[in-house]
């Protein structure tokens, strides 16, 4: 299904940090990742540039779409920064203290960001999901917080977020999953209680929320009927990243156990379309995987902790 050709590998200027979801790929196939208090954008196979962010502890870097325009989002202990996709210009800065509002704690942080193509959402250490109103677009110069969504009565830090125009999903450090409906006043439509292992990564399509956990499990929740549908004991160590490809309906996962998997996700519309298949698996020897992302329709990229090279698999 996928082959590993070293000629396709991408060289990096610095090795990625050991944080979940530490690889993001834009629609124009630029790569972004974080290393300690630095952020890098990679164009092509060798052209790597350090983004001039404020020195801070970075929790996530991700390309998102705001009103149809791709930007680079940087989440850190300084707050939220939005940069041009190539990392040349900072568009927006939202200080952490302003983001947290009255929800101040001893060591506040933000973690988990996703966009529905227009607006975007961010998770906080206070157990809330912040929804940003981007109606004015990038030229408006401001993205006010329009919603502060509660997750649980006993707040636990949010660790992962995914969203679409009709559904926002969030996972916390206890492994609980929360679903919200933007078109129904952002009402919380479902809650799935965790088992203690943190949710490390979230992706979704129009009917299914797919979550990775610190226990190595992958769980899938039917959003239309609010039901846990599938649980896979996928990895021996924490799931470090997931990525979902709409065109093929493939879900990719990686872990610190050196394993990479690609799963074929069914529609779950009938019994004959309810079987998940592992269509590709490999061991990336001597690498601690920290990020995974599809590149176009035919490539799959994997970043690894303390490794100045992104492994690229080509679908045959």
Q: What are the pLDDT digits (tens) for 88-124? A: 999 999 999 888 876 666 789 999 999 998 899 999 9
Is 80 exceeded by the pLDDT of residue 243?
A: yes
**267 pLDDT tier (thresholds 50, 70, 90):** confident
User: Strand pairing partners for 250?
Assistant: 245, 264
**177 pLDDT tier (thresholds 50, 70, 90):** very high
Neighbour order of strands in the sheet with 24-25: 24-25, 31-35, 38-43, 47-51
Q: 88: which residues sit within 8 A by CB, 6+ positions away?
A: none
Q: What's the chain's Rg over C-alpha atoms?
A: 18
pLDDT at site 78: 92
Average pLDDT of the chain is: 92
**63 pLDDT tier (thresholds 50, 70, 90):** very high
**241 pLDDT tier (thresholds 50, 70, 90):** very high
Q: Does residue 18 or residue 268 have the better pLDDT? A: 18
Tell me how crowded residue 133 is: count the other CB atoms within 10 A of its CB.
15
* Four-CA torsion 290, 30, 171, 241, nearest 10 degrees: -30
pLDDT at site 45: 67
16 in Cβ contact with 304 (< 8 Å) = yes
pLDDT at site 222: 94
Q: Report pLDDT digits (tens) over 269-304.
A: 777 778 899 999 999 999 999 999 999 989 999 999
* Four-CA torsion 80, 84, 88, 93, nearest 10 degrees: -20
Residues 245-255 have a mean pLDDT of: 96
Q: Does residue 263 or residue 92 have the better pLDDT? A: 263
Is 70 exceeded by the pLDDT of residue 46?
A: no
pLDDT at site 272: 74
Is 80 exceeded by the pLDDT of residue 138?
A: no
**Which range (45-49, 52-56, 242-246, 284-288) has the least confidence?**
45-49
């Amino acid at each position: 299904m996928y082959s590993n050709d070293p000629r396709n590998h991408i060289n990096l200027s610095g090795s990625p940090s050991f944080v979940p979801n530490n690889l993001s790929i834009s629609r124009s196939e630029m790569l972004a990742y974080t290393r300690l208090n630095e952020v890098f954008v990679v164009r092509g196979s060798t052209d790597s540039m350090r983004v001039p962010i404020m020195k801070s502890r970075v929790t996530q870097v991700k390309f998102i779409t705001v009103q149809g325009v791709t930007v680079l989002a940087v989440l850190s202990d300084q707050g939220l920064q939005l940069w041009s996709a190539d990392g040349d210009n900072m568009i927006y800065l939202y200080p952490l203290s302003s983001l947290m509002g009255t929800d101040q704690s001893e060591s506040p942080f933000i973690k988990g960001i996703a966009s529905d193509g227009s607006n975007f959402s961010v998770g906080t250490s206070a157990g809330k999901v912040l929804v940003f109103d981007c109606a004015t677009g990038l030229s408006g110069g401001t993205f006010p917080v329009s919603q502060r969504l509660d997750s649980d009565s006993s707040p636990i830090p949010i660790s992962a977020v995914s969203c679409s125009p009709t559904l926002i999903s969030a996972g916390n450090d206890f492994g609980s999953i929360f679903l919200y409906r933007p078109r129904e006043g952002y009402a919380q439509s479902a809650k799935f209680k965790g088992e203690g292992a943190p949710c490390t990564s979230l992706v979704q399509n129009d009917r299914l929320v797919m979550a990775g956990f610190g226990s190595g499990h992958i769980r899938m929740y039917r959003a239309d009927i609010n039901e846990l549908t599938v649980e896979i004991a996928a990895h021996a160590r924490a799931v470090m990243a997931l990525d979902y490809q709409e065109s093929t309906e493939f879900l990719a996962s990686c872990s610190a156990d050196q394993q990479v998997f690609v799963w074929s996700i069914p529609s779950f519309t009938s019994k004959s379309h309810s079987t998940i298949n592992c269509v590709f698996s490999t061991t990336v020897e001597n690498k601690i995987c920290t990020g995974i992302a599809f590149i176009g329709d035919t490539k799959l990229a994997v970043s690894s902790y303390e490794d100045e090279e992104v492994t690229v698999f080509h679908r045959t």
